[in-house]
A and B are shown apart, each in its own frame.
Chain A
Amino acid sequence: MSMHKSLKDFEKVIRECVKCGVCQAYCPAYLATRREGAVARGKIALAAALLDGGIGLEERLQQDIGMCLMCGSCMHKCPNTVPTHEIVGAIRREITDKQGMSLVGKGVSALLGSRVLMKTLAKSGAFLSPLLFEKIPETSGLRLRFPAPSMKGRTVPKIAFRNLFDRFPEFIEGRADKPVVGFFAGCSITYAYPEIGEAMITVLQRMGYPVFLPKAQQCCGIPALSAGNGRLVDELALANLEAFRKRDVQYIITACASCNGGIGAYRSMKVDSKDLTGKLIDFSVFLQKEGLFEELAGMEKRQDRVKVTYHDPCHLKTQGITREPRELLKALPNVDFVEMENASSCCGLGGTFSVDHYECSRAIGAKKIPGLQESGASLVATACPGCIMQLQDSINHAGLKMKAVHILDLLAAAWR
């Protein structure tokens, strides 16, 4: 019995879509294609037709259901807050259940089942880097995001030689008067950008917090959710719940917006995840709560400040976390913050979306370019490693000199 909601479970909210069309203004897939099949409203119409038995899982329907980044932007602006990304997830699981995995899904289950196949693929050079196989768990979303058979020309992260777990012990001591905080690092930070994780832990240590970094933590599950692999999401959710139950922590901090969204998605599963989701907090919200912004604002502004703009990761924006990251940037002594146009439009990565739809993903990414250019910033900071990869890819394709960084990179630099 799956821990996930079925399409049937969404029947009531599906009927709440009034086809007003507001989602057309916010759906990145629609804005890149201007086709009704790509927009949330179209997918809800298909979901309703599936429920009524008016249509089966025909190929074109699967294509349209594939055209969703599951970013939640539509629900964020929907007058009736219809959760299209969750409904799309349910349809993708039905497709997977009835017809087996898609290309991407197949890759994952094969990986789960067979190390031999993985090694064969590795030898063929189709994957990112052979190192990946030794360093990254088979269930990691990084494998889903960058399986690489059709990703020519894509800027992909290098896999770090020493990952985050190699760099820190599971428990990092802090002051006795401070509660223990958990750190959910996620695959991207652990394996591709361990320096972001290092910055996070350093900041927490500086503030006196003991940090619990359970090495049993797994991928948050968001790429598997996006691929319709419900079984894998179940497995990961249970493992993560278990991993963080080992110690009593006050908060579980994320520095990856997607992971925050991925863990947050356990809330709509049929499993009691309060131990994890009830403590979940984005790093910027945590740092503001703990008064770090005032301390930073009190520091003397540097002469050699860098002009920095900010990109809203969908998984923070849709939770209403737009103010905190900006205030953190504004408080930094080494940063000159400038706003940019379309700061809140999606970068185009979208779980596994960019694997199946790299062209569309690039078109969505390209929409960020004029805003980035006009901002005059030399860095674009964000709060999600996935966005960093995708923004850098878009920047490289546009031939700009900008660099995409994590806010924590800049925070670490402020103290250096």
Chain B
Amino acid sequence: MDEQVLKELKGIVGQENVFTELTDRITHSYDATQERHLPDVVVYAGSTAEVSSVLKLANRHLVPVLPRGAGSGFTGGSLPVQGGIVLVLTRMDRILEIDMENLTAEVEPGVVTAELQRQVERRGLFYPPDPASKEFCTMGGNVAECAGGPRCVKYGVTRDYVLGLEVVTPTGDIIKTGGRTLKNVVGYDLTRLFVGSEGTLGIVTKILVRLLPKPEAKKTMLVQFETIDGAAKSVSAIIGARIIPATLEFMDAATIACIREASSISLPEECRAVLIIEVDGDKEILDQQVEKILAVIRPFGILATRIAATDTESEEIWQVRRIVSPSLRQMGPDKFNEDIVVPRSRVPDMIRALEKISTDYNVPIVNFGHAGDGNIHVNIMVDLQANGMAEKVEKVLSEVFRTVIDLQGSISGEHGIGTAKAPFLHMELDAATISSLQRIKAAFDPNNILNPGKIFLESSPQRPAEASSR
């Protein structure tokens, strides 16, 4: 890295927040994809003004900038694939305001999602999006990836809660989108454009979210089915009965086989699918809702039902869900975790297709996830050391995504495109659509310095310097 750039960076954020040692570069070279790309320098920013100055500097010197929160993404969104400056935002971790009258909260990007949830819940309020990583992922990352979670079936995803943003554009301008009111139609809806933009259009420095009143109580149940079809039909029946549970999670037979030994709740061989259903709301209505659910799913081949009477019993049920990820390793050392999504009614078709692909290619595919919103976590478990496995996985992935598109679904429900899914973007979006996205990117980031090499495969190999010389 250019000495002049380093000197200016130190001037902006202070010497103690600029890291150039190999150790620092290694510890900021990865995310949850397990890919590794060394940055040239790591900068911990402390304010919007600092972020703006860093971006202006990066534009002058044509250096890539990679915004980073907890580095827990699954698609490489924070990886410095072209080197440059990793700009860490964890120092900006203040909850600026919780407005009890207007039910909003304003936070900095480094606030950990679960921490915001704890703070608002103490006040009887509720911030619903609950990605599995909520205990450590940051709000900035949640906005960048439009994080989801099990509760989305009832409450929606991050974009449904973001009212407004303060954003530093790639050229260093500080802009404000949206506002404090639920209704606001002034200008283009830039808030929605930035939510889910994967850190390619701007760096979010303040986030205004809306809050809900905290549901009074919840009730959890675990239902075992003879067939995956029975479970899928039950999902449709529950929604058809006009009940929207707070969460509606499923596990397929392969998943159940993985956790059978570790599970504290007995899951016999005949059990081919499990649904975990949680309803929330006023205490009085919960028992009624549970009964209604049990009545509508009764015809679909139920083996056993467990309804949690206490928080501890509810915890025991969720523990069954939580042991899934760690249990998967036994199927193969390398995991390809794809967060595909199909219309709710097509979940059984998708599962059947996945079973066929698994058999055809002779690779284990373990499926679980958010049945309520059609978001299935497809885990292809392999050993990449095996001969020809990489090519095989490539084919399996293509086939999985092709099926998703045929069923009118989407290749990513929660994780984003990043680098991991960039090769498949064209399967879902046609050339004209991709070109529209690229023009938006170019309008915000003429020098392609902010998170280059993400989303669009076409631009991946291209360094910012080449972009500007064209």
Contacts and interface: CB of A to CB of B under 8 A. Distances in A.
Contact of B110 (A16, A21, A25, A34): A34
Given A24-B70, A25-B135, A19 B31 contact: yes
Given A34-B91, A80-B326, A80-B329, A55 B30 contact: no
B93 A34 contact: yes
B71 interface: yes
Contact of B325 (A34, A59, A79): A79
Interface string B117-153: 0000000000000000101110000000000000000
Interface string A260-295: 000000000000000000000000000000000000
B248 to A, nearest CB: 24
Interface of A is mostly: helix
Contact of A21 (B23, B70, B91, B93): B70
A356 interface: no
Contacts of A413: none
A60 B24 contact: yes
A36 interface: yes
Contact of A35 (B44, B112, B326): B44
Contacts of B182: none
Contacts of B19: 60
A64 interface: yes
B22 A42 contact: no
Contact of B26 (A21, A35, A55, A79): A55
Nearest to B327: A79
Contacts of A55: 22-23, 26
Contacts of A61: 21, 23
Interface string B67-110: 00011100000000000000010110100000000000000001
Interface string B237-252: 0000000000000000
Contacts of B33: 19
Contacts of A24: 70, 72, 136
Interface string A2-37: 000000000000001011111011000000001111
Contact of B27 (A21, A34, A46): A46
A45 interface: yes
A207 interface: no
How large, as a class, is the contact surface on chain A? 20 to 34
Contacts of A42: 27
Contacts of A60: 19, 21-24
Nearest to B92: A34
Contacts of A19: 30-34, 71
Interface in B223-248: none
A131 interface: no
A58 interface: yes
Contacts of A400: none
A153 interface: no
A24 B110 CA distance: 13
Interface in A35-53: 35-37, 41-42, 45-46, 49
Contact of A22 (B27, B29, B112, B135): B135
B28 interface: yes
B23 A34 contact: no
A123 B92 CA distance: 47
B34 A45 contact: no
Interface string A52-96: 001100111101100000000000000110000000000000000
A211 to B, nearest CB: 37
Contact of B23 (A16, A20, A58): A58
B24 A20 contact: no
Interface residues of B, number: 33
Nearest to A18: B34
B70 A45 contact: no
Given A35-B44, A42-B27, A45-B29, A21 B72 contact: yes
B133 A45 contact: no
B29 to A, nearest CB: 7
B88 A36 contact: yes
Contacts of A35: 44, 90
B72 A54 contact: no
A42 to B, nearest CB: 4
A64 B136 contact: no
Contacts of B114: 25
Contacts of A41: 30
A21 B34 contact: no
B22 A58 contact: yes
B376 to A, nearest CB: 20
24 contacts: A16-B329, A18-B335, A19-B31, A19-B33, A19-B34, A19-B71, A21-B70, A21-B72, A21-B133, A25-B112, A25-B114, A25-B136, A34-B91, A35-B44, A35-B90, A36-B27, A45-B26, A46-B23, A55-B26, A58-B22, A58-B23, A60-B21, A79-B325, A79-B326
Interface of B: 19, 21-24, 26-34, 44, 70-72, 88, 90-91, 93, 110, 112, 114, 133, 135-137, 325-326, 329, 335
The 4 tightest CB contacts between A and B, nearest first, are: A25-B135, A42-B27, A21-B72, A24-B136
Given A21-B31, A25-B136, A80-B326, 4 more contacts: A21-B32, A41-B30, A42-B27, A58-B21
